[in-house]
Amino acid sequence: MELRTIPPAQYARLVLPLSAALWAGRRNMAMYTEQTLQIAASPYGKRSYRTVGLYDGSALLASCKRYERSVRVGAGRLRTFGIGAVFTPEPLRGRGYASAMIGMLLDAARDARYDAAFLFSDIRPKFYEELGFRLQLSRTIALRTDALERARIEIARLEEGDWNDVQRLFSGLDRARTWGFARTPLVWDWVRMRLRHGSEHVRGAEANFVMRDRGTVRAYVFGMRVPERDTYVVDEFGYAGERWAETVPLVLRGAAGDLRRITGWLPPDGARELLPRGTVRDRKDAIFMIAPISAAGKRWCALSERASDSDGVWATDHV
């Protein structure tokens, strides 16, 4: 058996029709395929993303997606990669092929001097624990919209010309955190594509907003409006320093509009403090896990595991 890169078109033909029931969500087959190929053809995809298969001769036994990411810890950078969409065709399940594939990926990463691997588990975290991955804090928060301060504030839909400001706001907030996934221009391109796709959400319509002052974005929120659940789902928000921190709850309330609830992943430190306590629960899916490889990776994992009132990742970091 050996690992091979699966060309995008071949992956779309061999794997996507089988995995659609798990991960296509609200997308039809054509859209699921188109969006997967768009990621592969993007600047980020060409440099930092590939689909991988475990083969026995010409037979594809298991597959997954592999994403290159860098993690900032203090002033340092760790070399890490994400694993997603681990899949074994039904007739081949229970034979250890997915375990062998992930083990080979970790072995190759160790030889290449990576610091850690990570993933977001939707099914059977215990399976990944047995392969060396460790559970991290993974929670959701739910608020009543009327728990947020009400005040007159003008927000507007995110426009193409706002992205430079959004990236600047994110960087300012991120520098104050203990650690976070680094966002290069290529990663930002990938984040923007995923927001357009809306593939992370089974329901809802994209609803990304900004608050401007004198033509400059001072706060933003990415999320989805889900009227059938009377909910606004937050994926990420940011603001321009302490002066504008108090505007975040107002922007969130404006984004929710007449919807009664605001939900989302529990934000990282520096952002969590801006929200009321709300109802916090462990997530049942997208559970964040780290497999440390180097000594630096072990330190990152230990840092991430510490009990905290906040989580380590935004929903927009999901792979």
At 215-232, the pLDDT tens digits run: 999 999 999 999 999 999
Same domain, 150 and 272: yes
Same domain, 266 and 157: yes
The DSSP-derived string for 145-184 is GGGSPP-----EE--GGGHHHHHHHHHHHHHTSSEEE---
**pLDDT class of 53 with cuts at 50, 70, 90:** very high
Same domain, 91 and 197: no
Same domain, 164 and 221: yes
Predicted TM-score (pTM) above 0.75 = yes
Among left, alpha and beta (phi > 0; psi -120 to 50; other), residue 286 is left
Same domain, 71 and 145: no
Same domain, 98 and 219: no
- Integer Cα distance of 141 and 284 in angstroms: 13
- Integer Cα distance of 5 and 37 in angstroms: 15
Residues 6+ apart with CB under 8 A from 175: none
pLDDT of residue 287: 97
- Whether 63 and 52 have beta carbons less than 8 Å apart is answered as yes
Number of Cβ within 10 Å of residue 182's Cβ equals 15
pLDDT at 282 > cutoff 80? yes
Same domain, 278 and 307: no
Average pLDDT value for the chain: 95
- When divided into structural domains, the chain yields a total of 2
pLDDT of residue 308: 84
pLDDT of residue 157: 97
pLDDT of residue 306: 87
Q: Which of 124, 65, 61 is nearest to 89 (CA)?
A: 61
- For residue 260, the SS3 value is coil
Same domain, 17 and 69: yes
Same domain, 42 and 114: yes
Domain of residue 206 covers 140-282
pLDDT at 25 > cutoff 90? no
Same domain, 7 and 92: yes
Same domain, 238 and 156: yes
User: Which carries the bigger pLDDT value, residue 150 or residue 24?
Assistant: 24
pLDDT of residue 199: 85
- Integer Cα distance of 24 and 175 in angstroms: 35
pLDDT of residue 1: 93
User: What's the number of CA atoms in the CB half-sphere (13 Å) around residue 249?
Assistant: 17
Q: Which of 137, 117, 115 is nearest to 128 (CA)?
A: 117
pLDDT at 307 > cutoff 80? no
User: Which carries the bigger pLDDT value, residue 304 or residue 308?
Assistant: 304
At 168-212, the pLDDT tens digits run: 999 999 998 999 999 999 999 999 999 999 888 888 999 999 999
Same domain, 229 and 147: yes
pLDDT of residue 121: 96
Burial bucket for residue 168 (CB in 10 Å: 0-12, 13-18, 19+): middle
Longest CA span, the chain: 65
CATH number of the domain to which 131 belongs: 3.40.630.30
- For residue 203, the SS3 value is coil
Q: What is the DSSP letter of 94?
A: T
**pLDDT class of 151 with cuts at 50, 70, 90:** confident
Q: What percent of the chain has pLDDT over 90?
A: 92
